[in-house]
Chains A and B, each alone.
Chain A
Amino acid sequence: MVSGREDARAGQGAERDAGRGGQGRARTPAIELHDAQVRLGGRTIWSGVEVAAGHGELIAVLGPNGAGKSTLLQVLLGAVPLSRGTATVLGSPPGARDARIGFLPQRRVFDSGTRIRGIDIVRLGLDGSRWGMPVPGAARLSARARARAARVSELIEMVGAREYANRPIDECSGGEQQRLLIAQALAHRPELLLLDEPLDGLDLTNQAAVTALVKAIATERNVTVLLVAHDVNPLLPHLDRVIYLAGGRAAVGTPSEVITSPTLSALYGVDVEVLRTGSGRMVVVGAPEAPHAHGRRHPLADGAHGAGAGG
């Protein structure tokens, strides 16, 4: 990435800033899937998916294990091709504008023994794909290095990670690591943020904090956020829409439209009940696991367990 590209990026950023609010939403959708189908290894993961996501929307991708939630993100990144239908991401075919996409893959925590500072992890999001070697003290020598250091500092501030950014990443808690990684994903001022299970393995307090952070990013920076989640409840207060994948199909709409007994029953093809607790939490009961689901991360998560909409 040469400075010319950085300038171009800054220019785009300004244009986007100007277009914030009502005008930004009037432009072409950030994501558009039309009659989309994905086949992997001879199996249809999902088909007939229709999505149009506007700028600055926070959208949860829900569904049981194996329903193809992560696959949806891979399609948007251009890493998995559609077998039918069309996809448009930020006005271009998938993969063409990856520099404008921040991606946070499904997370395992950093192994203990990864003795790298959080701030260096964030920095890799900015310059990790550049050839060369990190040189200590480079910020003192070149203006461009100084600008990058300032940007990293800004990102750390943005996610509130100042206190632990200089600690080795393996000594940070899951929530702290997640914030640092979100900062990393934001390094290039993306217009689209794809987060794969960012709340996985976090306690309730941290789930709420990370969700609030993501929501703030979506509204204040007009970033479209697709967030894969297993449990919709921590997200409910902030969500604009959900994409619910199950039974090879998708239902798209506001949470109250989609997470209902009739919609999910139609999606799963069996009778599914959505219960609402007094505090507004939703529990899905009776949803079958998708075929080929291994229950890797949630061995207890079957329909009856139903801690969340994901079942």
Chain B
Amino acid sequence: MPMAGAIRWQTALTALEPGDELARRRLGRGAAMSPHLSPDLVSDAQQLLAYTFMVHALIAASIVAVMAAVTGWFMVLRRESFAGHTLSVMAFPGAAAAILAGIPVAFGYFAFSGGAALVIGAGSVRRGRGGGVQAALTGTVQAAALALGFLLLGVYGGLLESPTSLLFGSFLGISATQVVSLAVLAVGVLAFFALVGRPLLFASVDGAVASAHRVPVKALSISFMVVLGLTAAAIAQVTGALLVLALLVAPPATAMQLTPRIGVSLLLSILTALVTVWLGLGLAYFTNYAAGFFITTVAFTIYLAARLIGTLAWRPRREMVGPRPPSKADGLRHASVEG
């Protein structure tokens, strides 16, 4: 799995599975020849799907995109992006520890991100959400995690050339087993939101009132943090630890720019995330540069466009309506309508 960040096409070919030989021949190209974009979209798609590793990468990225879009939507709403970033960074020492211990890297991702989620979730809930306590705790955990990651790599010694693939991602080594495990996790994460989405929304927007309505705000906030940790660990397997935030933050932020409707916003977030990973992986495939870079750049570009659209479409309309000067009579008039 560990490979240099900017993966050369030729490197990837050495990792081909037997079945790919057929695909290669069918495409009628020499093995060393790089794929190239053409105006013919069908040929582009054929090239993209010609190799099993690429199909795995696309499926894994799509699964991860859906998880990221939904979990990230709540994360942005709850203003826990910093915690989200820390949980993603935890994937780095997690992976390093797993490599050192000789177990699958994914275990390291999930153990470390999930563990840190429990620490941050339980530690910050006591003093209420969103305060300085959580930020300080989160920052401390993050710094310690990065340092630990580099230490573990040092202990492992020379064999791992650089931490770039752990930090910036490598989408070429995703196995069929990994795809299945990501799918199972995604089903679990989506089930979580299907079950507690509404109370979680209430607790996120208005914790005090939600408490008064007997919503278990603390339990929800800890369990959401754990779900965020697991989602971050899953994303890290595709984008690398440092670029997780691109998928967690940008699609929901994009959707929220475009609509204040909850359901539409969630769907838009999912759609944005999917387009982001597809475009990102496609561009990486055809240009031979790191997927992490393209995923991040596409996410950022879409967000910028959405902001622009949001500014153009919403603000002028709002100014036209203007802040209505409320009159004393309003309260009386409307209040007398029977409810």
* Minimum Cβ distance to chain B for residue A134 (Å): 5
Of the candidates B256, B261, B324, the one having the most CB atoms from chain A within 10 angstroms of its own CB is B261
- Tell me, yes or no, whether B206 is within 8 Å of chain A by CB: yes
Q: Is the CB of B209 within 8 A of A117?
A: no
Minimum CB–CB distance for A190 against chain B, Å: 11
Interface string of A196-219 (1 = CB under 8 A from B): 000000000110111111111100
Whether A158 is near chain B, meaning CB under 8 Å from some CB there, is yes
Q: Are B205 and A121 in contact (CB under 8 A)?
A: yes
Please list the 5 inter-chain residue pairs (A to B) with the smallest Cβ-Cβ separation, ordered nearest first: A136-B263, A160-B334, A216-B335, A128-B202, A133-B197
Is A155 a contact of B328 with CB atoms below 8 Å?
A: no
Q: How many residues of B contact A (CB 8 A)?
A: 50
A22 within 8 A of B: no
* Interface presence of B215 (CB below 8 A): yes
Q: Which of B76, B257, B259, B326 has the most CB of A within 10 A?
A: B326
Chain B CB within 8 A of A44 CB: no
B335 touches A213 (CB 8 A): yes
Q: Is the CB of B339 within 8 A of A132?
A: no
Nearest neighbor of A120 in chain B, beta-carbon distance: B262
User: Across the interface, do B199 and A131 meet the contact criterion of CB distance under 8 Å?
Assistant: yes
Task: Identify which of B206, B211, B321, B339 gathers the most chain A CB atoms within 10 Å of its CB.
Answer: B339
Closest approach, in angstroms, between the C-beta of A97 and any C-beta of chain B?
Answer: 12
- CA of A104 to CA of B209 in the docked complex: distance in angstroms? 7
- The answer to whether A209 touches B331, judged by C-beta atoms less than 8 angstroms apart, is yes
- Bound Cα distance from A185 to B206, whole angstroms: 12
A57 CA to B264 CA, complexed, in Å: 42
Q: With A133-B194, A206-B326 in contact, do A124 and B201 touch (Cβ < 8 Å)?
A: yes
**B213 in the interface, Cβ–Cβ < 8 Å?**
yes
Residue B39 interfacial (CB < 8 Å)? no
Please list the residues of chain A having a beta carbon within 8 angstroms of any beta carbon in chain B.
77, 79, 98, 101, 103-106, 110-111, 113-117, 120-121, 124-125, 127-137, 154-155, 157-160, 163-164, 166-169, 171, 173, 175-176, 181, 184-186, 189, 205-206, 208-217, 220-221
Residues of A within 8 A of B77 (CB): 114, 116
List residues of chain A with CB within 8 A of the CB of B202.
124, 128-129
Find the B residue at minimum CB distance from A202: B326
In the assembly, what is the distance between CA of A155 and CA of B337, in Å? 10
Q: Is B312 an interface residue (CB 8 A)?
A: no
Contact between chains at A103 and B209 (CB < 8 Å) = yes
With a 10 A CB-CB cut-off, give which of B199, B324, B330 has the most chain A CB atoms.
Answer: B330
A193 to B180, CA, bound (A): 52
Q: Does B133 sit at the interface, judged by CB under 8 A? A: no
Q: Which residues from chain B contact A129 at a C-beta distance below 8 Å? A: 199, 202, 210, 213-215
A216-B265 contact, Cβ under 8 Å, with A128-B198, A131-B196: no
Give the docked Cα–Cα distance between A205 and B329 (Å).
11
Residues from chain B with a CB closer than 8 A to the CB of A189 are: 339
Contact with A along B236-275 (1 / 0, CB 8 A): 0000000000000000000011011111110100000000
Shortest CB distance B321–A (Å): 8
Assess the B194–A117 pair: CB atoms within 8 A: no
Q: How far is the CA of A20 from the CA of B201 in the complex (A)?
A: 36
B300 within 8 A of A: no
Of chain B, the residue at the smallest CB distance from A206 is B326
Which residues on the B side are within 8 Å of A167 (C-beta)? 260, 318
A209 touches B330 (CB 8 A): yes
A242 to B259, CA, bound (A): 44
Contact B263 A117 (CB under 8 A): no
Complex Cα gap A127–B76 (Å): 22
Does any Cβ of A come within 8 Å of B15's Cβ? Answer: no
B327 close to chain A: CB less than 8 A: yes
Q: Which of B79, B205, B257, B318 has the most CB of A within 10 A?
A: B205
Contact between chains at A114 and B205 (CB < 8 Å): yes
* Contact A160 B333, CB 8 Å, known A133-B193, A134-B262: yes
Chain A residues near B158: list those with CB within 8 A. none
Decide if A132 touches B262 in the complex (CB within 8 Å).
Answer: no
5 A-B pairs (CB sep. < 8 Å): A106-B208, A115-B260, A128-B213, A163-B321, A212-B328
The answer to whether B337 touches A105 (Cβ under 8 A) is: no
The distance in angstroms between the C-alpha atoms of A220 and B333, with both chains bound, is: 12
- A221 — which chain B residues lie within 8 A by C-beta? 339
**Given the complex of chains A and B, what is the CA–CA distance between A77 and B214 in angstroms?**
11
In the complex, whether B32 has a CB less than 8 A from a CB of chain A is: no
Q: Are B215 and A217 in contact (CB under 8 A)?
A: no
- By the criterion CB–CB under 8 Å, are B339 and A184 in contact? no
User: Would you call A205 and B197 a contact (CB within 8 A)?
Assistant: no
